[in-house]
Structure formats: structure tokens, C-alpha cells
């Protein structure tokens, strides 16, 4: 099995990720609010400050940088939850079980690092790989909903289920 490592994000990763994820197929599967490169750099710098509400890692397979996994909306005080997203920008690595492994590792890390009880995720109902990798790493579907005419799914992983 390939060696999967989650490493700290650097400014160089932010630039590569921004360029590589400028891709119609990725944007269709995962409509993140992209903004400019300088917006992405600003968000990255914010994420390094103490008390930041987001935290990310970069995914390496056999020494190759292939994508990012991150959480946002971290709330340790009231809702005790955070939201998770993952993008493998190098499509040659899709469908090989890497997303599932990366999510598992990352969720474990986040539960150790933050005082939260659950992780939440959204995806489109026709994004089978995303749903498969979420379910494969322990997330449970809580509901389907329609947003802008598209059916989306909301998933949760609770801290106790993650450790099973
Ligand atoms: C979503 C993403 C991270 C998933 O990672 P991945 O490595 O491609 O997915 P995995 O190989 O881990 O697939 C997980 C499961 O999905 C299912 N799956 C994989 N490919 C599939 C396909 N083509 N059709 C249907 N199901 C599929 C399988 O059940 C698999 O589980 P298994 O290994 O137990 O059989 C990756 O495809 C990606 O970056 N896509 C673009 C961005 C995106 O959609 N992000 C999601 C935001 S939440």
C-alpha cells in the first residue's frame, strides 16, 4: 500500500493547490468559494493565528503532494463541532481508497487537537466517491436537502464513533 502522510501546509502548498484546483470537474463536484490567490493566501495566514477557526493538512502519497484536507468553522465553545472538506486535485489518484484513508487520519487528528464532539460534512448526492470516502471513514448521513436545485447530503462523525 502507498505511504500516506498528512503534512503541515506551507505557503508553497497554498499556491499549488489554488492552481491545480482550477478545474471544471473539481469545481462541479465541490463548489468551494475559490476567490483569488491572494484571498487563499490571506485565509491560510489567518489559519496560522492562535484561536483560528480553520486547520488544514496536505496529503502526500509516496512523497507526492496530491491534495488537501481541512476543517473550518471550528467551534469549541458552543456547538463543539467543525466542518471537514477534502480535495485530491490529482485525479490519477481518485478511486484508490486514498480519500478514505486521509479522512480517517485527519479526523483522528482533529478530535485529538480540538475540544469538539463531532465533525460535519456536506457533499452532493451524485458525488459517489465523496460519499464513499465519508461513509468509509465512519461518517453517517443525517439528511438530504436541496440547495439551489441540487440535492446535497449532510454527514456527521461523532468523536466516540471515530475511535471505534
Ligand atoms: C472525494 C475524494 C476526496 C474521494 O477520494 P478518493 O480517494 O477518490 O475516494 P476513495 O477511493 O477513498 O473512495 C471511497 C469509496 O467511494 C466509493 N467509490 C470510489 N469510486 C467510486 C465510483 N467511481 N463510483 C462509485 N463509488 C465509488 C467506494 O465505495 C470507495 O470505498 P471502498 O474503497 O470501500 O470501495 C476525491 O475523489 C476528490 O478529491 N474529488 C474531488 C473533490 C471532492 O469531490 N471533494 C469532496 C468534498 S466533501
Q: Indicate whether 76 belongs to any domain.
A: yes
The separation between CA 67 and the C-alpha centre of its own chain, rounded to angstroms, equals 9
Q: Indicate whether 81 belongs to any domain.
A: yes
Q: Indicate whether 106 belongs to any domain.
A: yes
The whole domain housing 89 covers 4-117
Coil, strand or helix at 131: helix
* pTM higher than 0.85: yes
Q: Indicate whether 161 belongs to any domain.
A: no
Of 27, 129, 130, the residue with max ligand 1 atoms within 8 A of its CB, to mutate for a pocket test, comes to: 129
pLDDT at 35: 86
Q: Indicate whether 158 belongs to any domain.
A: no
Ramachandran region, residue 145 (left: φ > 0; alpha: ψ -120 to 50; beta: rest): beta
Q: What is the CATH number of the domain that holds 51?
A: 3.40.630.30
Number of domains in the chain: 1
93 Cα: distance to centroid of ligand 1 (angstroms): 10
pLDDT at 30: 85
26 Cα: distance to centroid of ligand 1 (angstroms): 12
Give me the average pLDDT of each 10-residue run along the chain (164 residues).
95 96 90 84 94 96 98 97 97 96 97 97 96 97 94 95 65
pLDDT at 119: 98
Instruction: Count Cβ atoms within 10 A of the Cβ of residue 151 and give its class: 0-12 exposed, 13-18 middle, 19 or more buried.
Output: exposed
Q: Indicate whether 91 belongs to any domain.
A: yes
User: From the CB of 99, is ligand 1 less than 6 Å away?
Assistant: yes
Amino acid at each position: 500500500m502507498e505511504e500516506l502522510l498528512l503534512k503541515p501546509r506551507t505557503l508553497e502548498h497554498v499556491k499549488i493547490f489554488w492552481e491545480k484546483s482550477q478545474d471544471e470537474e473539481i469545481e462541479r463536484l465541490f463548489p468551494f468559494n475559490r476567490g483569488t490567490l491572494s484571498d487563499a493566501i490571506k485565509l491560510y495566514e489567518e489559519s496560522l493565528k492562535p484561536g483560528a477557526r480553520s486547520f488544514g493538512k496536505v496529503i502526500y502519497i509516496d512523497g507526492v503532494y496530491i491534495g488537501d484536507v481541512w476543517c473550518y468553522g471550528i467551534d469549541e465553545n458552543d456547538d463543539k463541532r467543525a466542518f471537514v472538506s477534502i480535495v485530491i486535485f490529482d485525479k490519477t489518484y481518485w478511486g484508490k481508497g486514498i480519500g478514505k484513508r486521509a479522512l480517517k487520519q485527519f479526523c483522528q487528528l482533529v478530535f485529538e487537537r480540538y475540544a469538539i464532539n463531532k465533525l460535519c460534512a456536506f457533499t452532493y448526492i451524485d458525488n459517489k466517491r465523496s460519499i464513499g470516502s465519508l461513509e468509509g471513514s465512519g461518517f453517517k448521513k443525517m439528511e438530504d436537502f436541496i440547495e439551489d436545485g441540487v440535492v446535497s447530503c449532510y454527514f456527521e462523525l461523532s468523536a466516540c464513533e471515530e475511535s471505534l
